[in-house]
Amino acid sequence: MMTLLQRLSTREKIMVSAAILVVLSAIIFGFILGPTLEKRDRWQNMAVRKRAELAKFAELSSNYRQLEATISDVEGKLGMRRSGTSLLADLEAKAKELNLQDNIASMKPFTTQLDSGLVESSVEIRLEKLVLRGLVDFLQRIEKADTLVVTRRLRIKSRFDDPQLLDVSIFVSTLEVQ
């Protein structure tokens, strides 16, 4: 092997040395640098994905805390409903507060047992010869109660004998704990 190298001219020795350097460089890059750079890129991409997942997790955590607060608020309102007063009595009391008891034509209570163990209590209340301001005040009083009371249906008709007066049918619901 040495005799072969001794026979080469200087120019050929430079070319052989350059070829050996190219081959060694390719081997070093192919087996050492290439995989190392690939791993680094893979880890950097994974870090970007994990940061995005962490941001999403933080957002979900925040949403979860808000939902927990809402649930505890609703549970508190449901606990207030447990006190023994019925929706029918509450509506009648609110009508008396606004001097609307003479306008009540009928009140029909309904109850529905839900799968969650709660009871949906509903009342359909019909009011006759009501002025618009009285209706608005009554609806505000119903909706702003500390308990979960929701107006589910509202029908308003003006009267033929006096268009300033209204006949109203309101369907109100709430949830109760048994």
Specify whether 67 is located in the same domain as 113: no
Specify whether 69 is located in the same domain as 104: no
Look at residues 55, 79, 103 and tell me which one is the last residue of a structural domain: 79
Specify whether 109 is located in the same domain as 69: no
Residue 109 confidence (pLDDT) above 70? yes
Number of domains in the chain: 2
- Cα–Cα distance, 115 to 150 (Å, whole number): 20
Residue 81 confidence (pLDDT) above 60? no
Stretch among 78-92, 100-114, 115-129 having the lowest mean pLDDT: 78-92
Look at residues 79, 112, 142 and tell me which one is the last residue of a structural domain: 79
User: How do residues 114-137 score in pLDDT, each as one tens digit?
Assistant: 777 777 889 999 999 888 898 898
Which DSSP symbol is given to 94?
Answer: H
Average pLDDT over residues 105-119: 84
CATH of the domain at 113: 3.30.70.60
User: How do residues 134-166 score in pLDDT, each as one tens digit?
Assistant: 889 888 888 876 667 888 999 999 988 888 889
CB-based contact 50:109 (threshold 8 Å) = no
Domain holding 28, by residue range, is: 2-79
Average pLDDT over residues 40-49: 94
Specify whether 57 is located in the same domain as 91: no
Specify whether 68 is located in the same domain as 118: no
Specify whether 75 is located in the same domain as 96: no
- Cα–Cα distance, 125 to 142 (Å, whole number): 12
- Cα–Cα distance, 142 to 13 (Å, whole number): 100
The pLDDT of residue 63 is 95
CB-based contact 81:177 (threshold 8 Å) = yes
